[in-house]
Amino acid sequence: MSLLDAATEIRERAYAPYSNFKVGAAIRATSGNVYQGCNVENVAYPEGTCAEAGAIAAMIAAGDSEIEEVVVIADSPLPVSPCGGCRQKLSEFGKGDVKVTMTTLEGNAQTMTLAELLPGVFTQAHMDNS
């Protein structure tokens, strides 16, 4: 299954009763394994958790720890990029050259690297003097 197919499939399982804005994400780890995540809203936190964070959690739970590629899909006129928190999380587990493809259900897609999505990312190197 392609990353796009995996992200599209999991998007349908999103729990978005407040916004009705479903997002799916799929991550391919360097091992070749694919992990999926979707957004989940709740009454106390209506904006919910992000699809990318769910895919990362699944990846870590399965024992993988390095991202090779990411796809995010939403029913939107323009491609939806990962939020700031997810950009940092993606950067924790992926190198700057990891491709992130953001796409719509209609196929309007944009691909950027993690470095382009999060310039000036905070890394372990910032704490080397500690």
Catalytic residue ranges: 52
Q: Which residue has the tokens 């993988």?
A: 64
38 is in an annotated binding site: no
Q: Which residue has the tokens 């090779």?
A: 68
29 is in an annotated binding site: no
40 is in an annotated binding site: yes
70 is in an annotated binding site: no
Task: Give the other-Cβ count within 10 Å of 79's Cβ.
Answer: 18
Q: Which residue has the tokens 């899909």?
A: 73
Decide: residue 59, CB within 10 A, 0-12 exposed, 13-18 middle, 19+ buried.
buried
Known binding residues are 39-45, 50, 83, 86
Known binding residues for Zn(2+) are 50, 83, 86
Known binding residues for substrate are 39-45
